[in-house]
Chain A
Amino acid sequence: MEVAPGEAVGLVGETGSGKTMTVRAATGLLSAAGGRVTRGAITIDGEDATAATEKAWRRWQGKTLALVPQSSMSSLSPLRRVRGQLAETIRRVDRAVDLDDQIAGLLESVHLPVTKEVLDSYPHELSGGMRQRVMIALALAVKPRLLIADEPTTALDVAIRGEILELFGELRRERKLALVMVSHDISAIAAATDRIVVMYAGQSVESGPTGSVLPDPGHPYTEALLAAIPQRTPPGLPLPVVSGQPPRPEEITIGCAFAPRCPKVKDACRNQTPAPVVVARGGQVSCLLAHRPDPQAPSKTEAKVR
């Protein structure tokens, strides 16, 4: 996958599909998690980051990219007040700045009131939405050009979720910030991103413009994932569920990783690894059936119930 300056990309897939691992690789946190790159490359602004040293990564982490981790409660220090958390990050990037000025600016940009009450709060004294804003303020403290947010809205309720998504939109417009949003919340992805990448079993199986992939998914996995959205089934009826589990990493051998669960599987899928195919509505689909759509196929809205 790639992200252009100012672009917003959504990364979706079920738990264990490799979303968070992808984010770690792209932010230099792979080795800390005990992983390493075995093939392919990570490129940042044309520079090869695949084998970059900790020091080189720190330079990128300090100004090019910033991560908003998944759990605000466990990523903020429980022992430090909001002011202290922000001050530490700001100083790490720039020792010369006026701290109070910077802190006020950051809080304002995430629409938190610059009051003693907020500045002196410990993380547990803030609501979930406020903590998420503090996390985003911390990420912005390094003045990144790319913000990577891992499940930024999952723990939030509808109203707060809307506000956080609005905030991302505003930051993109005002700071020309690029955004990668990892989420299993499809409606958040729909609202906040230009392009979508769907992952399954550690691979990108489909990508393309968000506005065309969601109404017209090209990969049977994407189709199955979208069919599980409750709104797409009348109340009280069972939701379409793909039987089986995603494969464990050691189980992926030859053929399409989704073949064992795929409702449209053909013999060829089991012994031929699908290459990405460029599709007419924009984007790529890694499925052997992708380039020859069946005109007799049922429409996308009539998902099969099993």
Chain B
Amino acid sequence: MTSTPIAVVAEGLDFSYGKSQILHSVDLEITSGQRVGIVGESGSGKTTLAKLLVGVLRSDQVTANGRPWSGWGRRSPVRRAVQFVQQDPYASLTPQLSARSAVAEAARVSGQAPRREATAQAVELLGSVGIGPDMAARRPGRLSGGQCQRVSIARALAARPSILFADEPTSALDLSVQAQIINLLLVLTKDQGLGLVLVSHDIAVVRHLTERVVVMRHGRIVEHGSTSDVLAAPQHEYTQMLCRAHLLEEVA
């Protein structure tokens, strides 16, 4: 995977929607090649933080390779290097576009493929995430949730990113499909060196895919460290609760 080295940094990041402050002085640095989990309950600010880090939401307290997102042009390699896979696979795909067209469009817009080659490249990318040529011709309505999630991932990969941000990529999927997506992300990250930021409340998935974890509560980072250390000896009360729920699952 050709990739642009990238460092996304949040420094003393505060963020509000109107009057309600969502994030309080968050410090976090993520560089390409790392696999980082952001965990926390609903409303803890984890999705907002992810959106700020990828530049969907803007703040001058977030920089990519030393410059705020507003300072990078639409077509700059730095913008392309960070891609975002949203939570709901159905909602994030255009219903009228076939999987192939959606991925080809992304390859073309990100400047990774001339119009003529975009479709061929899309078919190849979709193949690499397990969507065969006949499936690639289908629109999202005729694909399952797991297949749509694969298409979303292929579309993000079309820009040849260095870091993939994924917001709850498996929470809408059942166990066997979740396992397939986890295995796909393992291949992309561990074997192909793609960076991953996984936003999730599922600590089991985070444990499986990441080497560093950030725990958020009420808009603040309350714990941050290597995934194995944090999960083995959680310091914060909330992390301890998460891990207890996790133990319950191991009994299952």
Chain B residues in the interface with A (C-beta under 8 A): 41-43, 144-145, 171-180, 182-183, 186, 190, 201-205, 207-209, 227-228, 241-242, 245-246, 248-252
Contacts and interface: CB of A to CB of B under 8 A. Distances in A.
Nearest to B178: A228
- Looking at B171, B179, B228, the one whose CB has the most chain A CB atoms below 10 A away is B179
A240 B208 CA distance: 13
Interface in A271-299: none
Contacts of A156: 42
Contacts of B209: 235-236
Contacts of A242: 176
A14 B176 contact: yes
Contacts of B202: 158
B177 A15 contact: yes
Contacts of A159: 41, 241, 245
Contacts of A219: none
B204 A128 contact: no
Determine the main DSSP class of B at the interface with A: helix
A129 B42 CA distance: 10
A115 interface: no
A230 B41 contact: no
Nearest to A246: B176
Contacts of B175: 14, 184, 186, 225, 228-229
B41 A239 contact: no
Contacts of B245: 158-159, 161-162
Given A230-B204, A241-B176, A242-B176, 8 more contacts: A158-B241, A159-B41, A225-B175, A228-B176, A230-B182, A230-B208, A235-B208, A241-B183
A70 to B, nearest CB: 11
Given A224-B176, A229-B175, A214 B183 contact: no
A190 B250 CA distance: 10
A187 B180 contact: no
A240 B248 contact: no
Nearest to B187: A238
11 contacts: A14-B175, A158-B201, A187-B248, A190-B249, A228-B176, A230-B208, A231-B249, A235-B209, A236-B186, A239-B182, A241-B180
A158 B242 contact: yes
Interface string A144-179: 000000000011111111100000000000000000
B92 to A, nearest CB: 17
B207 A230 contact: yes
A53 interface: no
Given A15-B177, A158-B201, A225-B176, A187 B228 contact: no
Contacts of B182: 230, 239
A127 interface: yes
A238 B176 contact: no
Interface string A198-242: 000000000000000010000000001100111101011111111
A49 B245 CA distance: 40
A191 interface: yes
A230 B180 contact: no
Contacts of A225: 175-176
- Looking at A157, A184, A225, the one whose CB has the most chain B CB atoms below 10 A away is A157
A184 B175 CA distance: 7
- Looking at B175, B208, B251, the one whose CB has the most chain A CB atoms below 10 A away is B175
B251 A190 contact: yes
Nearest to A151: B174
A98 B175 CA distance: 45
Contact of A236 (B171, B208, B249, B251): B208
Given A127-B43, A228-B179, A229-B249, A238 B205 contact: no
